[in-house]
């Protein structure tokens, strides 16, 4: 299988993209729901969690690992790169998609506090487009809102938080906004309403899934099946919201979720 992990539910945006791109591939997903959010933690804690997440997926015998988490990819990418398996984080593929999409060179990035503090997206965008102007804002509450199922663009709470976080970015006249945290695609509609139709939103989970699909093809690691891939879901805490929100992420019901117990 392909291994995918995140601090919680957000990485399911990458699983949804993988299922549409490579419907014949098996996927093992791990969501560290017992320790979400990562984005408010220290680098030392994020490194430790990332090591455990990667080790768990390796024990499942995966052929490639996707860190479908902006925070891990920005702060602890070295854990994945040193894991001995093909590894894909979200930062580089998403920066490449944004660099290809922007016309004005004015690119926004929203993510967790740890992601924004790391400067990883700016660095990756500037490596491709040195003249780009990059505007970053942490939007940590979005993670908690998604984990709790607050995603409707009609919900006044969602609208108020989106306006509060995004208004300063509206003033920057962006043409591309990176959803640099994999939880944020569930708020796409609400974010789009504040940013306006002239701003293209780039989904980091999807960008990572597309990159991973290309890498598997290039390395000859695809299963060869066109359909019938299975998905298994593991979490570190079976939270009441998991299945409900997961269904919305994936657009299909999740029937079985296994709880992992750390030693």
Q: Which residues bind ligand DGL (CB under 6 A)?
A: 6-8, 10, 36-39, 69-71, 111-112, 115, 143, 181-183
Instruction: For residues 74 and 253, give the distance between their C-alpha atoms in angstroms, rounded to a whole number.
Output: 31
Shortest reach from residue 141's CB to ligand DGL, in Å: 10
Closer of 197 and 262 to ligand DGL (Cβ): 262
Shortest reach from residue 72's CB to ligand DGL, in Å: 7
Instruction: For residues 19 and 21, give the distance between their C-alpha atoms in angstroms, rounded to a whole number.
Output: 6
Point out the catalytic residue in the list 83, 139, 162, 181: 181
Closer of 1 and 10 to ligand DGL (Cβ): 10
Closer of 222 and 243 to ligand DGL (Cβ): 243
3-state secondary structure of 64: strand
Q: Which neighbouring-strand residues pair with 113? A: none
Closest CA to 96 of 125, 53, 118: 125
The answer to whether the peptide bond before residue 37 is cis (omega within 30 degrees of 0) is yes
Shortest reach from residue 81's CB to ligand DGL, in Å: 17
Catalytic, 162? Answer no
The residues, ordered by sequence, that sit 6+ positions from 210 with a Cβ below 8 Å of its Cβ are 17, 21, 93, 97
Closer of 51 and 221 to ligand DGL (Cβ): 51
Backbone angles phi, psi at 152, to 5 degrees: -65, 130
Closest CA to 254 of 36, 86, 21, 29: 29
- In terms of Cβ atoms closer than 10 Å to its own Cβ (0-12, 13-18, 19+), residue 233 is buried
Closer of 48 and 223 to ligand DGL (Cβ): 48
Shortest reach from residue 112's CB to ligand DGL, in Å: 4
- In terms of Cβ atoms closer than 10 Å to its own Cβ (0-12, 13-18, 19+), residue 197 is exposed
Catalytic, 69? Answer yes
Shortest reach from residue 171's CB to ligand DGL, in Å: 25
Note whether 234 and 28 are within 8 A (CB). yes
Shortest reach from residue 180's CB to ligand DGL, in Å: 7
Closer of 65 and 103 to ligand DGL (Cβ): 65
Instruction: For residues 261 and 244, give the distance between their C-alpha atoms in angstroms, rounded to a whole number.
Output: 22
The residues carrying an active-site annotation are: 69, 181
């Amino acid at each position: 299988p392909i291994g995918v992990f995140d601090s919680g539910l957000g990485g399911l945006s990458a699983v949804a993209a993988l299922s549409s791109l490579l419907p014949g591939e098996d996927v093992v997903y791990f969501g560290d729901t017992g320790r979400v959010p990562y984005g408010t933690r220290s680098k030392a804690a994020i490194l430790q969690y990332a090591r455990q997440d990667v080790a768990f997926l390796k024990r499942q015998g995966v052929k490639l690992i996707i860190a479908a988490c902006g925070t891990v990819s920005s702060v602890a990418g070295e854990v994945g790169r040193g894991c001995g398996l093909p590894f894909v984080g979200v930062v580089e593929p998403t920066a490449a998609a944004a660099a290809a999409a922007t016309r004005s060179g004015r690119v926004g990035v929203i993510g967790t506090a740890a992601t924004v503090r790391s400067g990883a997206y700016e660095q990756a965008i500037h490596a491709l487009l040195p003249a780009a102007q990059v505007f970053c804002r942490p939007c940590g509450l979005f993670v908690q809102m998604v984990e709790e199922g607050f995603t409707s663009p009609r919900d006044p709470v969602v609208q108020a938080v989106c306006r509060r976080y995004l208004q300063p970015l509206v003033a920057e006249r962006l043409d591309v906004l990176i959803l640099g945290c994999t939880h944020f695609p569930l708020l796409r509609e609400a974010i789009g309403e504040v940013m306006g139709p002239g701003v293209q939103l780039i989904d980091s989970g999807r960008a990572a899934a597309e990159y991973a699909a290309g890498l598997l093809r290039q390395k000859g690691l695809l299963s060869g099946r066109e359909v019938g891939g299975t998905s298994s879901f593991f979490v570190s805490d079976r939270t009441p919201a998991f299945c409900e929100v997961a269904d919305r992420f994936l657009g299909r019901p999740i029937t079985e979720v296994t709880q992992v117990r750390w030693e």
